[in-house]
């Protein structure tokens, strides 16, 4: 874990880097694979075998609980794997640790189920994976389990598949810990999780508050700078609606239905990639400029169920804050979440509180006469709240 120690005074941010206890952090590197047709068939066959094992392990747990009231655990199921490989020859071509990871996924699904039951939330009992719905398999110890980058850097050897062409669009860093082969539509990727040393940026005492929005601004800083909302989903909505109409007209199971389904998935994938790229670039700019970044600790899940859901999901606030957190941790910066209540209603100059409708973007404070922009004032209040409230200072991020 990379932990960031809390500075004694918010204004003394220049000492943050000196007080940080650096350890190795985990970082993911995702690369595109270009398998041949026989290799693609082998990859799909491996996914299908993993899917069948997942469903069988889930069925065993469910039957044991329903019929005899017994709980089947991870280690008990893992001990059956050698017999499965001995009795079913097709599983011999799949690495044993890949199969163990499948059992671990089932175990984690049940752990999440029981945790949600304990928290009295909607539990969501683990479900079976339908055909084509199991999209990745993992080598937990990549260096020891037959996943190796070959010397030329243009191919990667994958156990059971062979030497597959890969495009390393950026250099791989650190020590490889795990490797996950993933299918996204018609594309194949390999994701390496590596242990790397953090690269702290030069210390700075600059701090900023950011107010997240959906339209027309993605965020506004307390310094008055704005970042326009790209609204990738909204821009692609017409094309997506057309593709979905075409899909609805095709007979399920037919070749044309499959092709139309791939087209819809391709559009969604492009939107997701554009949004993720935007989040990475925006977060990097903030981390390079500021030592402390303060944002509202929003209930994004609740907002995603409200009438603003479409804009919130298109903006991708949750993903952006997650990316901002790990980039800040790697660079030796601090990210703080504060209570969002009344940030857009309080005057940052005198503190006078007045409720205003959302369409009012600029206003004059009736108490002190300051002319303010609603979002800039909110960002200034967010920054001031981190200075004033001890609760805000307790929010330190960590990268697993």
| 72 and 7 fall within a common domain | no
| 236 and 163 fall within a common domain | no
* pLDDT tens-digit map of 287-345: 999 999 999 988 888 888 888 888 889 999 999 999 999 899 888 899 999 888 888 88
| 67 and 169 fall within a common domain | yes
| 292 and 174 fall within a common domain | no
Asked if residues 393 and 294 have their Cβ atoms less than 8 Å apart, the reply is no
Question: What is the per-residue pLDDT for 22?
Answer: 57
| 351 and 209 fall within a common domain | yes
Question: What is the per-residue pLDDT for 242?
Answer: 96
| 216 and 267 fall within a common domain | yes
SS (H, E, C) the chain: CEECCCCCCCCCHHHCHHHCECCCEEEEEEEEEECCHHHHHHHHHHHHHHHHHHHHHHHHHHHHHHHHCCCCCHHHHHCCHHHHHHHCHHHHHCCHHHHHHHHHHHHHHHHHHHHHHHCCCCCCCCCCCCCCCCCEEEECCCCCCCEEECCCCCEEEECCCEEEEEECCCCCCCEEEEEEEEEECCEEEEEEEEEECCCCCCCCCCEEEEEECCCCEEEEECCCCEEECCCHHHHHHHHHHHHHHHHHHCCCCCHHHHHHHHHHHHHHHHHHHHHHHHHHHHHHHHHHHCCEEEEECCCHHHHCCCCCHHHHHHHCHHHHHHHHHHHHHHHCCEEEEECCCCCCCECCCCCCECCCCCCCCEEECCCCCCEEEHHHHHHHHHHHHHHHCHHHHCCCCCEC
Question: What is the per-residue pLDDT for 17?
Answer: 45
What's the total number of domains in the chain? 2
Asked if residues 212 and 219 have their Cβ atoms less than 8 Å apart, the reply is yes
Last residue in a domain, options 196, 219, 250: 196
Rounded mean pLDDT of 110-139? 92
| 397 and 321 fall within a common domain | yes
205 is catalytic: no
| 45 and 128 fall within a common domain | yes
296 is catalytic: yes
Last residue in a domain, options 136, 166, 196: 196
211 is catalytic: yes
| 163 and 205 fall within a common domain | no
Question: What is the per-residue pLDDT for 96?
Answer: 92
Q: What is the pTM of this model?
A: 0.80
Domain that holds residue 84: 27-196
| 170 and 53 fall within a common domain | yes
Active site residue: 42, 296, 330, 346, which one? 296
Question: What is the per-residue pLDDT for 290?
Answer: 93
Active site residue: 42, 107, 314, 375, which one? 375
Last residue in a domain, options 176, 196, 216: 196
Active site residue: 211, 314, 330, 346, which one? 211
Question: What is the per-residue pLDDT for 1?
Answer: 27
Rounded mean pLDDT of 35-55? 96
Q: Lowest-confidence range among 7-11, 131-135, 261-265? A: 7-11
Asked if residues 185 and 314 have their Cβ atoms less than 8 Å apart, the reply is no
């Amino acid at each position: 874990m990379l932990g960031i120690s809390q500075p004694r005074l918010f204004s003394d941010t220049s000492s943050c880097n000196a007080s940080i206890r650096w350890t190795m952090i985990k970082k993911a590197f995702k690369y595109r694979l270009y398998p041949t047709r026989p290799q693609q068939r082998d990859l799909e066959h491996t996914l299908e075998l993993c899917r069948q094992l997942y469903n069988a392990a889930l069925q065993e747990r469910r039957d044991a609980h329903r019929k005899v009231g017994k709980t089947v655990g991870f280690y008990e199921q893992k001990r059956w794997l050698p017999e499965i490989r001995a009795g079913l020859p097709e599983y011999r071509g799949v690495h044993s640790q890949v199969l163990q990871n499948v059992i671990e996924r089932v175990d984690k699904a049940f752990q999440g189920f029981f945790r949600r039951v304990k928290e009295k939330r909607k539990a969501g009992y683990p479900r079976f994976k339908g055909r084509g719905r199991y999209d990745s398999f993992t080598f937990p110890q990549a260096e020891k389990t037959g996943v190796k980058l070959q010397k030329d850097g243009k191919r990667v050897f994958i156990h059971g598949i062979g030497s597959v062409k890969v495009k390393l669009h950026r250099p791989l860093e650190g020590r490889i810990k795990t490797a996950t082969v993933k299918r996204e539509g018609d594309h194949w990727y390999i994701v390496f999780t590596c242990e790397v040393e953090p690269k702290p940026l030069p210390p700075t005492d600059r701090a900023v508050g950011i107010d997240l929005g959906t339209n027309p601004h993605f965020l506004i800083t307390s310094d008055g700078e704005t970042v326009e909302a790209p609204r990738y989903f909204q821009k692609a909505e017409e094309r997506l609606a057309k593709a979905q109409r075409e899909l609805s007209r095709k007979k399920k199971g037919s070749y044309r239905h499959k092709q139309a389904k791939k087209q819809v998935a391709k559009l969604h994938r492009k939107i997701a990639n554009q949004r993720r790229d935007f989040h990475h670039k925006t977060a990097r700019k903030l981390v390079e400029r500021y030592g402390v970044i303060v944002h509202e600790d929003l209930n994004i899940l609740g907002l995603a169920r409200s009438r603003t859901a479409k804009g919130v999901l298109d903006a991708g606030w949750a993903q952006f804050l997650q990316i901002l957190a790990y980039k800040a941790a790697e660079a030796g910066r601090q990210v703080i979440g504060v209570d969002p209540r009344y940030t857009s209603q309080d005057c940052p100059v005198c503190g006078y509180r007045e409720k205003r409708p959302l369409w009012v973007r600029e206003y004059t404070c009736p108490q002190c006469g300051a002319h303010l922009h609603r979002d800039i004032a909110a960002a200034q209040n967010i920054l001031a709240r981190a200075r004033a409230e001890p609760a805000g200072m307790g929010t330190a991020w960590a990268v697993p």
